[in-house]
Amino acid sequence: MKSLRTVVRHLKKYKLALTLTVLSMLALVGIQLIAPQLIRTMISTVTDPEAGSDAIGTVTRLALLALVVYVFRAMLRFVRSYSAHVAGWHVVADVRHEVYRHLQRLSLRFYEDKQTGQLMSRTVNDSNLLEQLVAHAIPDVLVNVLMLIGVTAVLVSMSWPLALLSMLPIPLIVLGMRGFAKYVRPAFRQRQVELGELNAALNDNISGIREIQAFTREDNESERIWERIVRHRDSLLKALKLMAVFHPSVEFAAALGTIVLIYFGGRLALGGALPLADLVAFFLYLELLYQPVRALSNVWENIQQALAGADRIAELLEQEPDVAERADAHVLDDRARGAIRLDNVSFQYAVGDVVLRDIDLDIAPGSVVALVGPTGVGKSTLSMLIPRFYDVTAGAITLDGRDIRDLSLESLRNQISIVLQDVFLFHGTVRENILFGRPDASDAALVEAATIANAADFIRELPNGFETMIGERGVKLSGGQRQRLAIARAVLRDAPILILDEATSSVDTETELLIQQALERLMEGRTTLVIAHRLSTIRSADTIVVLKDGRIAEQGRHEELMASDGLYRFLNRVQTADDLWGEPIGDGVETEIV
């Protein structure tokens, strides 16, 4: 079973904790078997008329021995419990790390239809269930199976006919456990699915609380969350209902064994075939016999819950990245020159959904190439093919003459800096967000990067300067400030290739000028691919590539394209009219990326 193989693989690393757990459990089984024998000996001593004056000494010694046994049992239970939890939580931590590392390997295509809350639920909630498996279920199964074997051996040695009669209900319990597993595991799996859906909905709503309040959708969204809560509640109650049926059934089956012993054991004792002390010991051992059986039924519930979570984790780990790295991938040790060629490149997200067709494009080292065209023609998609966030479906992309699919992903992406339209900043300080570009950079390099990005002045005005907390996604900063921090991050990275998605359309004119100046400094000496929003910002580009219907419609310098009276000139005319009159014209043609 793949889900269990993942657990076992990590469990092997914690042999010391496992060894202590197993040894303490074996000792506990031995102690559990000794206790009834002490009581049996005490009863035999008390009821023996020939014991004489030695009886008091024997009882005293039995009491002291019992004290030692129970103290030792308490110590062993501590060792067993703590060592099992050490192994369990280490496995959970390892699995969570493995899942996260695997999520990092998966390409962007995987995330297109996934919710963050769902993936968080699998990483945290599902893996959390593995602790039950490692620290509780597996040790409990082992100790209770050993106890079952040991008690059975003792009972058989005392009276094998009575032992067999007392164990008649056990096959019924085993069959019940198999039936229970058939129905309850899918129920627990569905419970985890609904929990993931609830987490996903909560994540969306908390992230979008500003929009919810702005559009006064509180009641609607509250109702939607309530529906998710109810679905999770109902799925949980369905599983609990199955458990509520199963556990009393096991208890009743165990009680049948006691009834059998009362009837047949009582008859044997009355007939003199079984000593009274042995009958009392038999009752005590029978309780020990059905104690592990009842415990196993409870453990079985934990196992089904844990396996339901493990199944979902295994399912995620089986996901293969669409962008795979070859085993013999070449590692770029030196700084790339930045010569990029797209050779007959085509790309589609799904069958029949062709975004780019037969793209041929040469980008010289250190040149600036701008991509323009109506919304949805594939400008952003084309730029994302270069760092291999997606792989081409036809053709090839080369960097300095080498197919990028032959390069290691890490070394390829180390050659590229990206400033996206939708800037993402992490919850932390200004310093931490800029250093994300190069964590080992000095303070001098940090300040220089901020200065180049026209960010140093506003950073100094913040309450704590570079140590100011900016909130989740930089919520405490304006759009222009966030954009300049992203540029500073790219400056610090100092990669030879730059991909820019200029987000200047939503800022004021002064901020746009500051951002444009920062971008021009950043572009110096780098191979730059610009996705143009405002066409006025890319007039000095070495090459302007105009895309239409996923193909290159025309390319050249600004003056050449304006003279050709093609799509580029039309887009310029439309955008110029928009800027002059503040109203869109031109048959609905758009020039911005959605």
pLDDT for res 509: 66
Amino acid found at 552: I
Dist CA 470 CA 468 (whole Å): 6
In the predicted model, is pLDDT for residue 543 greater than 80? Answer: yes
Is the same domain home to 61 and 180? yes
pLDDT for res 592: 37
Question: What integer is the mean pLDDT of 283-297?
Answer: 69
8-state DSSP, 78 = H
Is the same domain home to 166 and 61? yes
Which pLDDT tens digit goes with each residue over 547-589?
988 899 999 998 888 888 888 888 888 776 555 444 444 444 4
Which pLDDT tens digit goes with each residue over 71-129?
888 888 888 888 888 888 888 888 888 888 888 888 777 777 777 777 887 788 778 77
The CATH number that applies at residue 407 is: 3.40.50.300
Q: Examine residue 388 and state whether it is found in any structural domain, yes or no.
A: yes
Is the same domain home to 296 and 352? no
In the predicted model, is pLDDT for residue 261 greater than 60? Answer: yes
Taking a C-beta distance cutoff of 8 angstroms, is the pair 77, 64 a contact?
no
Most confident listed range (199-213, 332-346, 529-543, 567-581): 332-346
Give me the half-sphere count of Cα atoms (radius 13 Å) on the Cβ side of residue 454: 18
Taking a C-beta distance cutoff of 8 angstroms, is the pair 542, 560 a contact?
no
Q: Percentage of residues in the chain with pLDDT exceeding 90?
A: 8
Last residue of a domain, one of 262, 290, 317: 317
Taking a C-beta distance cutoff of 8 angstroms, is the pair 388, 501 a contact?
no
The phi, psi pair for 172, rounded to 5°, reads: -65, -40
Taking a C-beta distance cutoff of 8 angstroms, is the pair 102, 317 a contact?
yes
Is the same domain home to 264 and 194? yes
Q: Region of 565 please: left (phi>0), alpha (psi -120 to 50) or beta.
A: left
Amino acid found at 140: D
Q: Examine residue 518 and state whether it is found in any structural domain, yes or no.
A: no
Is the same domain home to 335 and 300? no
Q: Examine residue 424 and state whether it is found in any structural domain, yes or no.
A: no
Which pLDDT tens digit goes with each residue over 329-384?
899 888 899 899 999 999 988 766 788 999 999 999 999 998 988 888 888 889 88
Q: Alpha helix locations (H) across 271-327?
A: 276-317
Last residue of a domain, one of 263, 286, 317: 317
Taking a C-beta distance cutoff of 8 angstroms, is the pair 478, 534 a contact?
no
Give me the half-sphere count of Cα atoms (radius 13 Å) on the Cβ side of residue 296: 24
- Residue 307: name the closest of 89, 453, 127 by CA: 127
Taking a C-beta distance cutoff of 8 angstroms, is the pair 398, 340 a contact?
yes
Strand 394-399 to 340-348 pairing? antiparallel
The phi, psi pair for 235, rounded to 5°, reads: -65, -35
Q: How many domains does the chain have?
A: 2
Strand partners, 528: 368, 498
Token pair for 411: 């070394």
In the predicted model, is pLDDT for residue 18 greater than 70? Answer: yes
Q: Examine residue 323 and state whether it is found in any structural domain, yes or no.
A: no
Is the same domain home to 399 and 272? no
| Number of CB atoms found within 10 A of residue 445's CB | 17
Q: Examine residue 421 and state whether it is found in any structural domain, yes or no.
A: no
Dist CA 362 CA 343 (whole Å): 8
The CATH number that applies at residue 263 is: 1.20.1560.10
Is the same domain home to 202 and 346? no
Q: Examine residue 493 and state whether it is found in any structural domain, yes or no.
A: no
Last residue of a domain, one of 277, 298, 317: 317
Is the same domain home to 355 and 305? no
- The better pLDDT of the pair 268, 363 is held by 363
Structural domain range at position 333: 328-415+540-594
Q: Examine residue 432 and state whether it is found in any structural domain, yes or no.
A: no
DSSP string, 353-419: -EEEEEEEEEE-TT-EEEEE-STTSSHHHHHHHTTTSS--SEEEEEETTEEGGGB-HHHHHTTEEEE
In the predicted model, is pLDDT for residue 4 greater than 90? Answer: no
Token pair for 282: 């038999």
In the predicted model, is pLDDT for residue 308 greater than 80? Answer: no
Is the same domain home to 81 and 230? yes
Question: What integer is the mean pLDDT of 538-555?
Answer: 88
Is the same domain home to 92 and 172? yes
| Number of CB atoms found within 10 A of residue 361's CB | 18
- Please list, residue by residue across 542-566, b when 16 or more beta carbons sit within 10 angstroms of its beta carbon and e when fewer do: ebbbbbeebebebbbebeebbeeee
Is the same domain home to 250 and 122? yes
| Number of CB atoms found within 10 A of residue 63's CB | 11
8-state DSSP, 69 = H
- Residue 310: name the closest of 440, 129, 573, 161 by CA: 129
Is the same domain home to 287 and 365? no
- Residue 42: name the closest of 57, 20, 22, 24 by CA: 57
Dist CA 175 CA 510 (whole Å): 77
Dist CA 539 CA 520 (whole Å): 13
Strand partners, 345: 359
Enumerate residues 6+ apart whose C-beta is below 8 A from 395: 342, 343, 344, 345, 346, 358, 359
The DSSP H or E segment spanning 509 is helix 509-523
Terminal alpha carbon distance of the chain: 45
Q: Examine residue 514 and state whether it is found in any structural domain, yes or no.
A: no
Strand 340-348 to 402-403 pairing? unpaired
Token pair for 103: 């999520």
Strand partners, 416: 497
pLDDT for res 311: 81
Q: Would you place residue 397 in the very low, low, confident or very high pLDDT band (cuts 50, 70, 90)?
A: very high
Strand partners, 500: 419, 530
